[in-house]
Amino acid sequence: MDQPLPHRPRRNRVGGQPAQAPRHLPFRTQVRPRDAQRLARLARVDPELLHPIQHGSAQAQHDLLGLKLRAALVRTRVNLINAVRFTLKSLGHSVRNPSSESFHKTVLADIPADCLPVVQPLLTVLAQVTEQIKGMERDLVQRSKRDYPATNRLQQISGVGPLTALCFVLKIGDPQRFSRGRDVGAYLGLCPRRDQSGGTDKQLRISKCGDGLLRRWLVSAAHYVLGPFGPACALREHGQRLTGTGSSREQKRAVVAVARKLAVLLLSLWKHGTDYEPRVTAPVMTPA
């Protein structure tokens, strides 16, 4: 008979730090043979309870790491920009809000000469990080055109850039793995969680499963589609119908819904090899 699983480490009442686990309880990392045995029992009872794992190729993993490292550099640049802003604000100087690529140039042109020695080390690092980001972007775009031709088809949708298309292709791998197109929304964590108990059926926030980088880029593309520069298309109309009164909560729900629908559309274009047609509903003409 299997031993009971160990409980989670207790929390101290002061500080919330995990208390030391009792010595007679084994660590969770020491029960791997037991986990394998349970998986084998599940497969013997009902194989449908288990799902096969599809591994990506070594090249796909390498390219995906390039996207993640580029995203890490972008976060580093944001932190550096915030540090420069905070430093100059404490000295009594404000900085304009240019693009991240030209922020260090704007600071050098706007701040007084006596403040320059304070932020000069950060500006130097910021310029180097920006150059590294540009170089990685050029390499990733060239690699997507050369090794992943499906990204060209996905970029037909406004708001979907080469990096978003490349990340989508790398994470999905094989579009035929989804028998239904709507399953890709749940795979990327864009579907709401459910809490059913008795007669209640609560709809919670999205699950946020899957890759967080791709989900953020899809949400960013949805913001562009619903923004002032978004072209007229079915995606934009779908989001505008969900906006309703325009409250903050309804706008967030509309953005997530457009991102989920965008993921389904990207999978459909890639799976069937069709071109994107931005269908727009014709306005209903009322008689005068």
The predicted model scores a pTM of 0.79
Total domains present in the chain: 2
Are 218 and 157 within 8 A, CB to CB? no
* Ranges of H-type helices in the chain: 32-45, 58-90, 103-110, 116-147, 150-154, 162-172, 183-187, 212-226, 234-243, 248-272
| C-alpha R_g of the chain | 25
Reported as type and span, the H/E element at residue 194 is strand 192-197
Identify the pLDDT of residue 31: 60
Distance between CA 272 and CA 144 in Å, rounded? 20
Residues 93 and 131 in one domain: yes
Above 60 in pLDDT, residue 8?
Answer: no
In the numeric block, which tokens belong to residue 80? 């550096």
Residue 20 maps to a domain: no
* 130 and 187 together in one domain: no
Residue-wise pLDDT tens digits, 211-226:
999 999 999 999 999 9
pLDDT score, position 4 = 45
List the domain range (segments joined by +) for residue 135. 58-147
Residues 179 and 103 in one domain: no
Contact at 8 Å (CB) between 137 and 114? no
Tokens of 287: 């008689």
| Residue 8 lies inside a defined structural domain of this protein | no
Residue 96 tokens read as: 């304009």
- Largest alpha-carbon pair distance within the chain? 84
- For residue 173, give the 3-state DSSP assignment: coil
Residue 115 lies in a domain: yes
Per-residue pLDDT at 15: 44
How far CA 134 is from CA of 76, 81, 111, in Å, comes to: 14, 17, 26
Note whether 105 and 174 are same-domain residues: no
- Residue 159, φ and ψ in degrees, nearest 5: 100, -15
pLDDT at 33: 80
State the distance between the two ends of the chain, measured CA to CA, in whole angstroms. 81
Task: Report the C-alpha gap between 38 and 5 in whole angstroms.
Answer: 13
**CA-CA distance, 66 to 139, in Å (whole number)?**
9
The verdict on residue 109 lying in a domain is: yes
Element (H, E) at 179: none
Banded pLDDT at 194 (limits 50, 70, 90): confident
DSSP β-bridge partners for residue 196: 201
Q: Does pLDDT of 282 surpass 80?
A: no
Token pair of 245 as six digits = 């009164």
pLDDT value of position 140: 95
Residue 41 lies in a domain: no
**Mind listing the pLDDT tens digit for each residue in 226-276?**
999 999 999 999 999 988 788 888 999 999 999 999 999 999 999 999 999
3-class secondary-structure state, position 81 = helix
Domain co-membership, 119 together with 184? no
Structure tokens at 1: 């008979």
